[in-house]
Amino acid sequence: MEITPFLILSAGLISIGLYGIMSKKNLLKLLISLDIMDVGVNLLIVTVGYLPGGTAPIMDGDYGKYVDPLPQALVLTAIVIGVSVLALGMILTIRHYRRTGSLEMDEGGVFGW
């Protein structure tokens, strides 16, 4: 299987997420951008572990060729961490909204002091 589309996709998702983070001020859009980046990186990690012609690393029967199992374990961890950060981000957004009545970020965006 040709691997380049997956590399384009993961690099693309990461940079789309970065674009969102740099250009948006709406907190929900920022959280969505973070999630898009996360998906891109997870895709990259899985792609790194791909082995042409390999099967899932479950030793049931003799297939002889398995994909690299370690990235799959890493991605599991990365997904759970992404969910956790997103959950906390949602709560912070809710509290921010209750206090200010707005979903805009204060202090002039992400990169200012």
- The answer to whether 26 touches 3, Cβ cutoff 8 Å, is no
Binding to other proteins (CB under 8 A) within 9-68 occurs at 10-12, 14-19, 21-23, 27, 30, 34, 37-38, 41, 44-45, 47-52, 56-60, 66, 68
Tell me how far, at minimum, the Cβ of 2 lies from other proteins, in Å. 10
- CA pair distance 68, 96, nearest whole angstrom: 43
- Number of residues assigned to the chain: 113
Tell me how far, at minimum, the Cβ of 69 lies from other proteins, in Å. 4
Tell me how far, at minimum, the Cβ of 111 lies from other proteins, in Å. 5
By the rule CB under 8 A, 69 interacts with other proteins = yes
- CA pair distance 13, 6, nearest whole angstrom: 10
Interface with other proteins (CB under 8 A), residue from 29, 32, 74, 101:
74
Angle of helix 69-100 relative to helix 27-48, nearest 10 degrees, comes to 180
